[in-house]
């Protein structure tokens, strides 16, 4: 586990650290809610104290704007901690099963939420604060212990700072173990036995995670990104709004813009206008996120070199700083080089279409496009919205982009090739707990349910079938049944005396 003196512990220590984490969990498998709230409060205080340091570290790593870190990451995490702290009692409360079939009318049944155990969370570099801390606080609030793998190989300054922040919470190593490093550390962690794995990253690596998890039959939550489309139709009354989130290197950023040909020229004018407003000065020194590493820089510039479209805005790239201007590419079709995989960079291809139903059907049937992590619609026509909504996506925003990913009150996750499972707020509690049914049968009911025991007879079968057809009823107690037992007993006695 990471310490203040050793941010990257030796690989050989990883198995023993996970064993210690599990031993600690097994000693106290069900924790008091007051203790869970204390853990959340400790994390909140540490994050508040180190807010500026965390934002500064991200700026130093890849020029991430401090404002972007505060608004899109920090405030969302603090809001989710406060939400879970306020509602933890109701979120963890047992669900009562009030309505059951007649065969189960004497049974008391509840569904309790039990922690899974040890959760591995593997975090990407693009939004490393919210994509690490949101699942961490959800897993801890549900009563689990957590092994957190940070992307030290991509953003080392931030990972060092977040590690120091978390080490001061007092949760390490009892409930939280923090790991840094790169692929070797991730691989070593994947070889261990966990009770759930949360991975955010590429589909290629996601397949490796699934293979590793299968060894121990470990369930997974995968957030794998994908090419998230934005639709702009002629029925949109605010054309400029549709272009404001298209230059982010995030898993839910608009990956390409589809514009109806009726408003294509008008849309290009609006894009150029909003571009100048958003980026009055564009240079490596401005507050604009740089590409994370040389490999990603070469990948993005390679796409620009091989696209059949034309660059109408931006396009300049500086390899010494890995800075690429926010770039808009016109005249792109769905088979272009820019459409081969998720861009994950400041490039926005524009695809022109004339038939909405046809282009939607093409996306729905094209591998790599058919199940995006996010889907964005800019149209004021309900009919058009319904057509576009037939695309299966992890999330959907209408007249908005990006914001759903940071809302702690709604689930965040993918579907199909963009991932599986979700988390945030109450959905994290569902993801990180096991819903276990607890049934209790009173002894007095034994005489009423003997028909299920041998010797079997058609009379018992017929009675069971009749009971099964009785509409669901509330739970019956002894005192509910007692008057009928008395009446039945008296009736039998009278019958025998005649």
- Tell me if residue 68 is catalytic: no
pLDDT value of position 330: 95
Residue 420 tokens read as 């599986």
Q: Could you tell me which residue, 311 or 473, shows the higher pLDDT?
A: 311
- Is the pLDDT assigned to residue 384 strictly greater than 90? yes
Instruction: Read off the pLDDT of residues 275-291 as tens digits, 9 standing for 90 and up.
Output: 888 888 877 777 788 99
Q: How far apart (Å, rounded) are the C-alpha atoms in residues 453 and 446?
A: 11
pLDDT tens for each residue of 227-256: 999 999 999 987 766 555 555 555 678 999
Place of tokens 């949109």: 236
Structure-model confidence comparison of residues 486 and 374, the more confident one: 374
Contact in structure between 397 and 376 (CB atoms under 8 Å):
yes
Q: Supply the mean pLDDT for the chain.
A: 90
Measured CA to CA in angstroms, residue 99 lies from 113, 465, 474, 481 at distances of 20, 18, 5, 17
Q: Domain 229-413, what fold?
A: Aldehyde Dehydrogenase; Chain A, domain 2 (3.40.309)
pLDDT at 323 over 70: yes
pLDDT number for residue 244:
56
Asked if pLDDT for residue 15 goes beyond 60, the answer is yes
Angle at 33 between CA 28 and CA 38, to 5 degrees: 95
**Confidence tier at 16 by pLDDT (50, 70, 90):** very high
Rounded to two decimals, the pTM is: 0.91
- If you write DSSP's letter for every residue of 338-394 in order, what string do you get? GGSS---SSEEEEEEES-HHHHHHHHHHSTTTSS-SEEEEE-S-HHHHHHHTTS--S
Q: What angle do CA 312, 315, 319 make, to 5 degrees?
A: 175
Band of residue 488 on the pLDDT scale cut at 50, 70, 90: low
Tokens 């190593």, located at residue: 173
What's the whole-number mean pLDDT along residues 395-411?
A: 91
Least confident of 121-135, 357-371, 400-414: 400-414
**Mean pLDDT, rounded, for 344-373:** 96
Q: How far apart are CA 44 and CA 36, in angstroms?
A: 13
Domain segments of the chain: what residues? 11-224+426-435, 229-413
pLDDT in tens, 30-67: 899 999 999 999 999 999 999 999 999 999 999 998 99
DSSP string for residues in 131-151: HHHHHHHHHHHTT-EEEEE--
d(CA 236, CA 107): 56
Marked catalytic residue, from 68, 223, 325, 342: 223
Tell whether the model's pLDDT for residue 485 goes beyond 90. no
- Distance of alpha carbon 253 from its chain centroid, rounded? 15
pLDDT at 227 (0 to 100): 94
Could you give the CA distance from residue 128 to residue 161 in angstroms, rounded to a whole number? 12
Rounded alpha-carbon distances, angstroms, from residue 65 to 61, 69, 72, 130, 477? 11, 6, 11, 15, 63
Q: What is the largest CA-CA distance in the chain?
A: 107
Output b/e per residue, 314-350; b: 16+ Cβ within 10 A.
Answer: bbebeeeebbbbbbbbbebebebbbbebbbbbbbbbb
Which tokens sit at 381?
């026509």
172 is catalytic: no
Q: Which CATH superfamily is domain 11-224+426-435 in?
A: Aldehyde Dehydrogenase; Chain A, domain 1 (3.40.605.10)
What's the chain's Rg over C-alpha atoms?
28
Please pick, among 155, 251, 397, 420, the residue that the annotation labels catalytic. 251
């Amino acid at each position: 586990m990471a310490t203040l003196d050793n941010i990257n512990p030796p690989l050989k220590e990883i198995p023993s650290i996970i064993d210690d984490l599990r031993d600690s969990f097994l000693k106290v498998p069900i924790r008091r809610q007051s203790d869970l709230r204390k853990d959340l409060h400790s994390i909140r205080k540490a994050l508040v104290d180190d807010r500026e340091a965390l934002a500064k570290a991200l700026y130093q790593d890849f020029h991430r704007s401090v404002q972007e870190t505060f608004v899109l990451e920090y405030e969302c995490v603090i809001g989710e901690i406060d939400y879970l702290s306020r509602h933890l009692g109701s979120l963890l409360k047992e669900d009562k099963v009030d309505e059951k079939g007649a065969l189960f009318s004497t049974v008391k049944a509840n569904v309790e939420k039990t922690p899974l155990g040890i959760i591995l969370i593997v975090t990407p570099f693009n939004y490393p604060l919210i994509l690490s801390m949101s699942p961490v606080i959800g897993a801890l609030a549900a009563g689990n212990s957590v092994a957190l793998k940070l992307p030290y190989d991509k953003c080392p300054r931030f990972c060092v700072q977040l590690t120091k922040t978390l080490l001061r919470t007092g949760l390490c190593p009892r409930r939280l173990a923090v790991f840094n490093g790169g692929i070797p550390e991730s691989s070593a962690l994947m070889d261990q036995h966990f009770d759930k794995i949360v991975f955010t990253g590429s589909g290629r690596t996601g397949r490796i995670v699934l293979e590793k998890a299968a060894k121990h039959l470990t369930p997974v939550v995968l957030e794998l990104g994908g090419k998230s489309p934005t639709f702009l139709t002629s029925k949109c009354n605010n054309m400029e709004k549709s272009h404001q989130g298209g230059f982010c290197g995030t898993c839910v950023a608009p990956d390409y813009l589809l514009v109806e040909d009726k408003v294509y020229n008008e849309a290009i004018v609006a894009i150029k206008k909003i571009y100048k407003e958003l980026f009055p000065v564009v240079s490596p020194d401005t507050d604009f996120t740089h590409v994370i590493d040389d490999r990603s820089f070469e990948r993005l510039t390679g796409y620009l070199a091989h696209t059949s479209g034309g660059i109408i805005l931006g396009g300049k790239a500086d390899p010494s700083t890995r800075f690429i201007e926010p770039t808009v590419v016109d005249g792109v079709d769905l088979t272009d080089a820019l459409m081969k995989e998720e861009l994950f960079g400041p490039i926005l291809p524009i695809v022109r279409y004339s038939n909405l139903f046809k282009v939607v059907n093409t996306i729905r049937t094209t591998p790599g496009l058919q199940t995006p992590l996010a889907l964005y619609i800019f149209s004021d026509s309900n009919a058009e919205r319904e057509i576009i909504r037939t695309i299966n996506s992890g999330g959907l925003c209408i007249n908005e982009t990006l914001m759903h990913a940071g809302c702690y009150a709604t689930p965040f996750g993918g579907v199909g090739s963009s991932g599986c499972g979700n988390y945030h707020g109450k959905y994290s509690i569902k993801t990180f707990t096991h819903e276990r049914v607890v049934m209790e049968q009173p002894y007095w009911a034994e005489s009423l349910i003997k028909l299920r025991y041998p010797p079997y007879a058609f009379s018992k079968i017929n009675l069971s079938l009749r009971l099964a057809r009785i509409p669901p009823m509330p739970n019956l107690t002894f005192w509910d049944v007692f008057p009928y037992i008395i009446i039945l007993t008296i009736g039998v006695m009278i019958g025998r005396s005649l």
